[in-house]
Structure 1
Amino acid sequence: MSSEVLLSVPAEFAAQIIAQSRSAGISVADTVRKLMESLQQQAAPGMHQWSDDQVVAAADLRLPPRDADRISELLNLQQAGQITTVEHAELQNLMTCYQALQLYQARALGEAIRRGLRSVPVITS
Protein backbone atom coordinates (compact mmCIF):
# COMPACT_ATOMS: atom_id res chain seq x y z
CA MET A 1 0.00 0.00 0.00
CA SER A 2 1.23 3.50 -0.70
CA SER A 3 0.13 6.99 0.17
CA GLU A 4 0.61 10.20 -1.72
CA VAL A 5 2.42 12.96 0.18
CA LEU A 6 2.98 16.56 -0.87
CA LEU A 7 6.32 17.87 0.37
CA SER A 8 7.57 21.43 0.45
CA VAL A 9 11.36 21.44 0.24
CA PRO A 10 13.96 24.12 -0.44
CA ALA A 11 14.37 24.85 -4.15
CA GLU A 12 18.01 23.74 -4.07
CA PHE A 13 17.07 20.31 -2.69
CA ALA A 14 14.26 19.95 -5.23
CA ALA A 15 16.69 20.80 -8.04
CA GLN A 16 19.08 18.12 -6.82
CA ILE A 17 16.33 15.51 -6.71
CA ILE A 18 15.14 16.47 -10.21
CA ALA A 19 18.69 16.35 -11.59
CA GLN A 20 19.28 12.99 -9.94
CA SER A 21 16.06 11.55 -11.36
CA ARG A 22 16.90 12.81 -14.86
CA SER A 23 20.43 11.43 -14.63
CA ALA A 24 19.12 8.04 -13.51
CA GLY A 25 16.27 8.10 -16.03
CA ILE A 26 13.59 7.53 -13.38
CA SER A 27 10.71 9.59 -12.05
CA VAL A 28 11.10 12.12 -9.27
CA ALA A 29 8.74 10.00 -7.14
CA ASP A 30 10.95 6.94 -7.63
CA THR A 31 14.05 8.99 -6.79
CA VAL A 32 12.49 10.22 -3.55
CA ARG A 33 11.28 6.70 -2.75
CA LYS A 34 14.81 5.30 -3.23
CA LEU A 35 16.26 8.07 -1.08
CA MET A 36 13.81 7.29 1.72
CA GLU A 37 14.52 3.55 1.48
CA SER A 38 18.24 4.28 1.67
CA LEU A 39 17.75 6.44 4.77
CA GLN A 40 15.68 3.70 6.42
CA GLN A 41 18.38 1.11 5.73
CA GLN A 42 21.05 3.38 7.23
CA ALA A 43 19.03 3.87 10.38
CA ALA A 44 18.39 0.20 11.17
CA PRO A 45 20.06 -1.45 12.92
CA GLY A 46 21.88 1.27 14.82
CA MET A 47 25.65 1.17 14.84
CA HIS A 48 25.58 0.56 18.57
CA GLN A 49 24.36 -2.97 17.71
CA TRP A 50 27.15 -3.68 15.25
CA SER A 51 30.17 -5.81 15.97
CA ASP A 52 33.51 -4.06 16.50
CA ASP A 53 34.71 -5.34 13.12
CA GLN A 54 31.67 -3.87 11.37
CA VAL A 55 32.17 -0.49 13.04
CA VAL A 56 35.87 -0.37 12.13
CA ALA A 57 35.10 -1.40 8.54
CA ALA A 58 32.51 1.39 8.24
CA ALA A 59 34.95 3.91 9.74
CA ASP A 60 37.51 2.91 7.10
CA LEU A 61 35.14 3.29 4.12
CA ARG A 62 36.41 5.38 1.25
CA LEU A 63 34.94 6.47 -2.04
CA PRO A 64 36.00 4.05 -4.78
CA PRO A 65 39.04 5.46 -6.64
CA ARG A 66 37.14 5.50 -9.94
CA ASP A 67 34.45 7.74 -8.43
CA ALA A 68 36.99 9.98 -6.68
CA ASP A 69 38.88 10.41 -9.96
CA ARG A 70 35.65 11.21 -11.80
CA ILE A 71 34.72 13.85 -9.23
CA SER A 72 38.13 15.46 -9.75
CA GLU A 73 37.68 15.43 -13.53
CA LEU A 74 34.22 16.97 -13.29
CA LEU A 75 35.35 19.61 -10.79
CA ASN A 76 38.18 20.57 -13.14
CA LEU A 77 35.69 20.89 -16.01
CA GLN A 78 33.41 22.99 -13.82
CA GLN A 79 36.25 25.26 -12.74
CA ALA A 80 37.27 25.71 -16.37
CA GLY A 81 33.67 26.54 -17.30
CA GLN A 82 33.52 23.57 -19.68
CA ILE A 83 31.08 21.30 -17.84
CA THR A 84 27.94 20.17 -19.68
CA THR A 85 24.49 19.90 -18.15
CA VAL A 86 24.75 16.11 -18.09
CA GLU A 87 28.21 16.24 -16.49
CA HIS A 88 26.94 18.74 -13.92
CA ALA A 89 24.11 16.36 -12.96
CA GLU A 90 26.65 13.54 -12.71
CA LEU A 91 28.84 15.70 -10.47
CA GLN A 92 25.85 16.50 -8.25
CA ASN A 93 25.01 12.81 -7.93
CA LEU A 94 28.59 11.84 -7.14
CA MET A 95 28.90 14.65 -4.59
CA THR A 96 25.66 13.55 -2.93
CA CYS A 97 27.06 10.02 -2.63
CA TYR A 98 30.38 11.37 -1.34
CA GLN A 99 28.67 13.51 1.29
CA ALA A 100 26.48 10.60 2.43
CA LEU A 101 29.56 8.38 2.68
CA GLN A 102 31.41 11.03 4.69
CA LEU A 103 28.51 11.30 7.13
CA TYR A 104 28.24 7.53 7.44
CA GLN A 105 32.00 7.24 7.97
CA ALA A 106 31.96 10.02 10.58
CA ARG A 107 29.19 8.29 12.51
CA ALA A 108 31.12 5.01 12.42
CA LEU A 109 34.31 6.75 13.53
CA GLY A 110 32.40 8.31 16.43
CA GLU A 111 31.13 4.88 17.43
CA ALA A 112 34.65 3.42 17.12
CA ILE A 113 36.01 6.17 19.37
CA ARG A 114 33.19 5.64 21.86
CA ARG A 115 34.10 1.93 22.03
CA GLY A 116 37.82 2.64 22.36
CA LEU A 117 38.58 1.02 19.00
CA ARG A 118 40.05 4.26 17.64
CA SER A 119 41.62 7.26 19.28
CA VAL A 120 40.37 10.79 18.83
CA PRO A 121 42.13 12.33 15.81
CA VAL A 122 44.53 15.13 16.65
CA ILE A 123 44.55 18.02 14.24
CA THR A 124 47.69 20.12 14.19
CA SER A 125 48.22 23.39 12.42
Structure 2
Amino acid sequence: MSTKITITLPDEIYQRAERFARLANRDIASILAETLQLSIPPVSIEVNNLEAISVLSDEQVLALTDLKMEAEQDTRLSQLLDRQQAGTLNEDERPELQALMQIYQEGLLRKATALSEAVKRGLIQPLSK
Protein backbone atom coordinates (compact mmCIF):
# COMPACT_ATOMS: atom_id res chain seq x y z
CA MET A 1 0.00 0.00 0.00
CA SER A 2 1.22 3.49 -0.76
CA THR A 3 0.16 6.98 0.24
CA LYS A 4 0.55 9.81 -2.22
CA ILE A 5 1.85 13.12 -0.84
CA THR A 6 2.99 16.43 -2.27
CA ILE A 7 6.10 18.10 -0.84
CA THR A 8 8.05 21.23 -1.64
CA LEU A 9 11.79 20.69 -1.88
CA PRO A 10 14.55 23.28 -2.05
CA ASP A 11 15.72 23.58 -5.66
CA GLU A 12 19.17 22.26 -4.81
CA ILE A 13 17.77 19.06 -3.27
CA TYR A 14 15.43 18.50 -6.22
CA GLN A 15 18.29 18.99 -8.68
CA ARG A 16 20.50 16.55 -6.77
CA ALA A 17 17.71 13.97 -6.77
CA GLU A 18 17.05 14.57 -10.45
CA ARG A 19 20.72 14.11 -11.37
CA PHE A 20 20.97 10.97 -9.25
CA ALA A 21 17.77 9.55 -10.77
CA ARG A 22 19.12 10.18 -14.26
CA LEU A 23 22.41 8.52 -13.36
CA ALA A 24 20.59 5.51 -11.87
CA ASN A 25 18.07 5.41 -14.75
CA ARG A 26 15.18 5.67 -12.27
CA ASP A 27 12.37 8.12 -11.62
CA ILE A 28 12.77 10.81 -8.97
CA ALA A 29 9.82 9.56 -6.90
CA SER A 30 11.41 6.14 -6.39
CA ILE A 31 14.76 7.72 -5.48
CA LEU A 32 13.13 10.00 -2.90
CA ALA A 33 10.95 7.21 -1.48
CA GLU A 34 13.94 4.90 -1.10
CA THR A 35 16.00 7.67 0.49
CA LEU A 36 13.26 8.30 3.05
CA GLN A 37 12.89 4.59 3.73
CA LEU A 38 16.60 4.25 4.43
CA SER A 39 16.98 7.43 6.47
CA ILE A 40 13.96 7.22 8.79
CA PRO A 41 14.46 4.44 11.33
CA PRO A 42 11.56 2.19 12.29
CA VAL A 43 9.69 3.24 15.42
CA SER A 44 7.90 0.79 17.70
CA ILE A 45 4.13 0.89 17.99
CA GLU A 46 4.45 1.64 21.72
CA VAL A 47 5.75 5.10 20.82
CA ASN A 48 2.28 5.97 19.50
CA ASN A 49 0.99 5.79 23.08
CA LEU A 50 3.49 8.33 24.41
CA GLU A 51 2.39 11.90 24.95
CA ALA A 52 4.13 14.57 22.93
CA ILE A 53 6.91 16.14 24.97
CA SER A 54 5.56 19.61 24.23
CA VAL A 55 2.42 18.88 26.31
CA LEU A 56 4.23 17.40 29.33
CA SER A 57 4.69 19.29 32.59
CA ASP A 58 8.04 20.87 33.40
CA GLU A 59 8.74 18.09 35.91
CA GLN A 60 7.99 15.39 33.35
CA VAL A 61 10.23 17.07 30.75
CA LEU A 62 13.09 17.36 33.24
CA ALA A 63 12.67 13.70 34.21
CA LEU A 64 12.97 12.71 30.55
CA THR A 65 16.23 14.65 30.23
CA ASP A 66 17.73 11.98 32.52
CA LEU A 67 16.17 9.05 30.64
CA LYS A 68 18.37 5.96 30.66
CA MET A 69 18.02 2.45 29.38
CA GLU A 70 17.21 -0.18 32.02
CA ALA A 71 20.43 -1.54 33.53
CA GLU A 72 19.85 -5.13 32.36
CA GLN A 73 19.05 -3.99 28.83
CA ASP A 74 22.09 -1.72 28.76
CA THR A 75 24.37 -4.54 29.93
CA ARG A 76 22.94 -6.97 27.41
CA LEU A 77 23.21 -4.42 24.59
CA SER A 78 26.88 -3.90 25.43
CA GLN A 79 27.49 -7.65 25.44
CA LEU A 80 25.80 -8.11 22.08
CA LEU A 81 27.63 -5.16 20.54
CA ASP A 82 30.92 -6.59 21.78
CA ARG A 83 30.05 -9.96 20.24
CA GLN A 84 29.09 -8.27 16.97
CA GLN A 85 32.37 -6.33 16.92
CA ALA A 86 34.30 -9.56 17.58
CA GLY A 87 32.38 -11.35 14.82
CA THR A 88 30.94 -13.92 17.25
CA LEU A 89 27.30 -12.80 17.25
CA ASN A 90 25.11 -15.75 16.30
CA GLU A 91 21.89 -15.67 14.26
CA ASP A 92 19.70 -16.12 17.35
CA GLU A 93 21.22 -12.98 18.91
CA ARG A 94 20.70 -10.69 15.90
CA PRO A 95 16.98 -10.02 16.52
CA GLU A 96 17.71 -9.37 20.20
CA LEU A 97 20.42 -6.88 19.24
CA GLN A 98 18.06 -5.15 16.79
CA ALA A 99 15.32 -4.89 19.43
CA LEU A 100 17.70 -3.47 22.02
CA MET A 101 19.15 -1.01 19.49
CA GLN A 102 15.63 0.19 18.71
CA ILE A 103 14.88 0.70 22.41
CA TYR A 104 18.17 2.58 22.77
CA GLN A 105 17.60 4.79 19.72
CA GLU A 106 14.01 5.64 20.63
CA GLY A 107 15.07 6.50 24.19
CA LEU A 108 17.92 8.64 22.93
CA LEU A 109 15.60 10.53 20.58
CA ARG A 110 13.05 11.06 23.36
CA LYS A 111 15.79 12.29 25.71
CA ALA A 112 17.18 14.68 23.07
CA THR A 113 13.70 16.03 22.38
CA ALA A 114 13.15 16.54 26.12
CA LEU A 115 16.48 18.38 26.39
CA SER A 116 15.48 20.66 23.53
CA GLU A 117 12.09 21.32 25.14
CA ALA A 118 13.70 21.99 28.52
CA VAL A 119 16.01 24.59 26.95
CA LYS A 120 13.10 26.16 25.07
CA ARG A 121 11.13 26.47 28.33
CA GLY A 122 14.14 27.89 30.17
CA LEU A 123 14.30 24.90 32.54
CA ILE A 124 17.96 24.26 31.74
CA GLN A 125 20.72 26.23 30.09
CA PRO A 126 21.72 25.42 26.52
CA LEU A 127 24.88 23.42 26.11
CA SER A 128 27.87 25.67 25.59
CA LYS A 129 29.79 25.54 22.32
TM-score, scaled to structure 1? 0.65
Q: Which has the larger radius of gyration?
A: 2
- Partners in 2 of 1:52 and 1:91 — Cα distance? 34
Structure 1 counterpart of 2:106: 100
Out of 36, 53, 61, the residue aligned to residue 59 of structure 2 is 53
**Corresponding letter in the other structure for 2:120:** R
Structure 2 gap ranges (5+): 4-32
- Partners in 2 of 1:53 and 1:120 — Cα distance? 18
3-state DSSP class of the match of 1:85?
coil
Structure 2 counterpart of 1:79: 85
**Corresponding letter in the other structure for 2:115:** L
Out of 37, 40, 65, the residue aligned to residue 48 of structure 2 is 40
* Cα-to-partner distance string for 1:35-82 (whole Å, 9 max, x where unaligned): 34x23223x4x3222111011011111111211111111111111111
Matched, 1:62 2:68: yes
Q: Which has the higher helix share?
A: 1
TM-score, scaled to structure 2? 0.63
More deviation, 90-99/57-66: 57-66
- Partners in 2 of 1:39 and 1:78 — Cα distance? 27
CA displacement at 1:90 relative to structure 2: 0.6
Aligned length: 96
Structure 1 gap ranges (5+): 1-5, 18-31
State percent identity of aligned pairs.
34
- Partners in 2 of 1:67 and 1:7 — Cα distance? 35
- Partners in 1 of 2:95 and 2:109 — Cα distance? 21
Structure 2 counterpart of 1:120: 126
